[in-house]
A and B are shown apart, each in its own frame.
Chain A
């Protein structure tokens, strides 16, 4: 069990998501802490993305409670909120496994759509915006500054006026993170941000995620398949298998957890492992313990 000195940000209790007879997430409970990177790992079909969809309101969980307590904000029970309210009021931002940008709009516009809530509030049902009143103009300038800051951080300033759909894949991934950050989230959920990136882009991305945690002080949930990424940047690792929690520890603890190894490599009884693999496995498990 993982313990942290930091305040709890997200508490998930007894969360289950059922599709017909299939439990995609089964009685899951964990806590993610503020200013920490919590990685969620597990084999394919373990229910990681389903968990994200429950957290961000795209699915209504069948059972369970998801509470978000951001500093300086009331406690939100996410399981009973609409998707857009979770993003707008509880400030949970996310990216998607298959990138979802606004491909026809420019990079800068994508970032401004990310700041829809403050801009919309300042434009007062679009009336102040239509008339170009001062309050709206100020907010617009602030939003452009925020956008420029994130363009700079993600290295997309030179492409700011290009359609987002024309960017190379790695830049699209970064733009999606920048857009999510423009919503000023309390919790950032990244769904496989390193998928499809080359090693160099992946390293840059790791640094960006670490910087975001350091400077913004927000909690980050990270689904990732690349173990090297998980082990280097995360503070806390949650392992799912078939919808259930099988490990909840720091990276070093998870690495040698027998349940995790079993989930990833199968058990010795299940299949006859080649002797060298079995020996490797034993050595890893023993090495972790000592």
Chain B
């Protein structure tokens, strides 16, 4: 009765597709490797020539070109040697590992469903006690808060891209709508964070619907282009509607969050401060830790709601829509409404994240909502494995956390970022957590006698 426990699609990608480099290499090993490496070296030299070969330098009386062909040569040589090393290593590895054992080693990352679930619990527990760990300092907690914002955004976008299969390149627009809603509502009407949070989510959801209507008939590339345009429209409006948004200057002095009315300041003109309330000595860390837990709460709420929605008819309809829209229509599912609800739900989570972002920063400007942000969030979702919640956390750590920690590398940071993306796509082309768990299992459903049909 019970279905085999092998998770679906864990071994769908064969280890070496025919025609791959390894396949060629196997047929005529070392000569081919040399040829392949030579080609790679020449390609590297061509690429490096404009990037590394010339540099503008200041000389007396103007600018001059500095030729650095030695660097180009080094780069080409490096790629040549590296290519040989990689191919030889793969050849040796393939010979050493028996062919039959290979599918076994290509199992889902971190194994089966159960171990993945416990992994999720461990991650959640770690997140919960993070501020109390010995190595946690103010800097680390602050960066973890930022990371959680991206995790939240990734989970939100996952509803649109991962579940409903609608490629959205303008997701950051909803993030901006949420941030500006909070900033403007709290500045102009003095509303508190907890009142603004649902309002910001609501406004972002309305914007999601607004975007949804014109793009309902579009699919794939066309949808991506329109959403990209929508994201830019929102940013340009924020830049130019000076009277309301403050234009490029942004909105500053946004109300900082308080602990249910007790601010995290040394003194306050009215009422009691947070440290007075609990009889603690004043410390600026309190606010950082509070923000961290606030973001953790919001992120976990996002996670719980999306996990739950996935098991509801609407969530299944989203996934069905991703798989086959025509079949959906033949089963009585309204594609219009279903798509709109996916857009609105995803946008709402972005609105929550945006309003948290505004209260954390205290200052927002259109610069924070550029296309690059959309691209990063999308990269998090895609690299995590479309539709996977834990995969998104891992790829957020990889794509947002690591670059933050490696700020010392300065501009090479982005180089490492790109390199990491390429490596992940080579290593796991369908994302870190590519497999999908069914939302319901027959084995887990209790039988009720005498019904059916």
Contact = CB atoms under 8 A, between A and B. Distances in A.
Interface of A: 56-58, 83-85, 87-89, 93-94, 96, 100-106, 108-109, 112-114, 116-117, 119-120, 123, 126, 129-130, 141-142, 144-146, 148-149, 151-152, 157-163, 166, 179-180, 183, 215
Given A93-B330, A102-B320, A158 B1 contact: yes
A89 B334 CA distance: 12
Interface in B1-57: 1, 3, 8-9
Contacts of A104: 8-9, 319, 322-323, 436
Given A100-B326, A148-B442, A105 B331 contact: no
A151 B316 contact: no
A183 B331 contact: yes
Given A105-B316, A126-B312, A163-B9, A100 B3 contact: no
24 contacts: A84-B328, A84-B332, A96-B326, A96-B327, A104-B319, A104-B323, A105-B438, A112-B316, A112-B440, A116-B316, A120-B314, A141-B448, A144-B445, A145-B448, A145-B452, A148-B445, A148-B452, A157-B1, A161-B438, A161-B441, A166-B8, A180-B330, A183-B331, A215-B453
Contacts of A148: 442, 445, 447, 452
B453 A108 contact: no
A152 to B, nearest CB: 8
A162 B308 contact: no
Contacts of A215: 453
Given A162-B8, A163-B9, A102 B452 contact: no
Interface residues of B, number: 41
B316 A94 contact: no
A58 B319 contact: no
Contacts of A157: 1, 442
B443 interface: yes
B313 interface: yes
Nearest to B333: A116
A204 to B, nearest CB: 19
Given A102-B320, A113-B320, A119 B441 contact: no
B206 interface: no
A153 to B, nearest CB: 9
A116 B452 contact: no
A57 B439 CA distance: 30
Contacts of B442: 108, 148, 151, 157, 160-161
Contacts of B451: 142, 145
Interface in B316-359: 316-317, 319-320, 322-324, 326-335, 341
B305 interface: yes
B185 interface: no
B8 A113 contact: no
Q: 4 nearest interchain CB pairs?
A: A88-B332, A149-B452, A87-B332, A106-B438
Given A105-B438, A151-B442, A123 B327 contact: no
A166 B335 CA distance: 26
Given A96-B327, A108-B442, A130-B309, A117 B332 contact: yes
B354 to A, nearest CB: 22
A116 B448 CA distance: 21
A130 B309 CA distance: 7
Nearest to A128: B312
Interface centre among B330, B341, B439 (most CB of A within 10 A): B330
A57 B326 CA distance: 11
A87 B327 CA distance: 11
